[in-house]
Structures are given as structure tokens and as C-alpha cells.
Amino acid sequence: MDRIKKLKEFLRDNPSDSFLQHALALEYIKLGEDVKAKELFESVLQKDPGYIGSYYHLAKLMERAGETDAAVKVCEKGMEEAKKSGEQLAYNELRSLFEDMTF
């Protein structure tokens, strides 16, 4: 069974599960379906702003789509959330992405 189909089945039982939505978005990225992935990452972060991993992937999608200003804002919000939760590795990855886009 393909991963997207399986993840969608899991989401039917747990529609608000951030991990499942994030995982589905990553699968969409692999297929080049960036719009679907972006919508999922935005949904995750809207309801669960502490789901740090989605900030990086959302910012990368936005950067790739030429939405650099929006991507920078996502990085800033993600760095703020990573700092609050003490996730130094995630903070460093977001900071590196932020610096790549702003310098």
C-alpha cells in the first residue's frame, strides 16, 4: 500500500494528528505536489504552533516558490517557537535557512 493512502487512512481516524499531517505533507513534497504540502504544513502550524519541524519545511517550500518574504517570516516564527521549547537543533536549522535567505 502506498504511503499517502496509508497516511490518509490514519488521518480518517485521527484528523487532527499533527504528526500524520506533517508526514503526509512530506510525501506530497516527494511527488512534487508542493501546494498540497504547503496547505498541510500551514494547517499543522495554525492549530499546533509548537510543531517545530513544519516551520523548516514550510519555509523551504515558500522559498522554492519565490515567496522569500513569507519564508523569512515562517523562519522567524519557527525560531521563536524552537527557542521557547528548547529545541536547539531545530533553532539552528531555521537560523541557517533564515540567514541563507536574508544575507
User: What structural domains does the chain harbor?
Assistant: 3-102 (1.25.40.10)
Looking at residue 8, its pLDDT comes to 96
Whole-structure pTM value: 0.93
Looking at residue 1, its pLDDT comes to 54
- Is residue 91 within 8 A of residue 79, CB to CB? The reply is yes
| DSSP conformation class of 61 | H
pLDDT 10s digit of each residue in the chain, 103 long?
599 999 999 999 999 999 999 999 999 999 999 999 999 999 999 999 999 999 999 999 999 999 999 999 999 999 999 999 999 999 999 999 999 999 8
Q: Which of 61, 35, 58, 64 shows the shortest CA–CA distance to 45?
A: 58
Beta strand spans in 1-103 (E): none
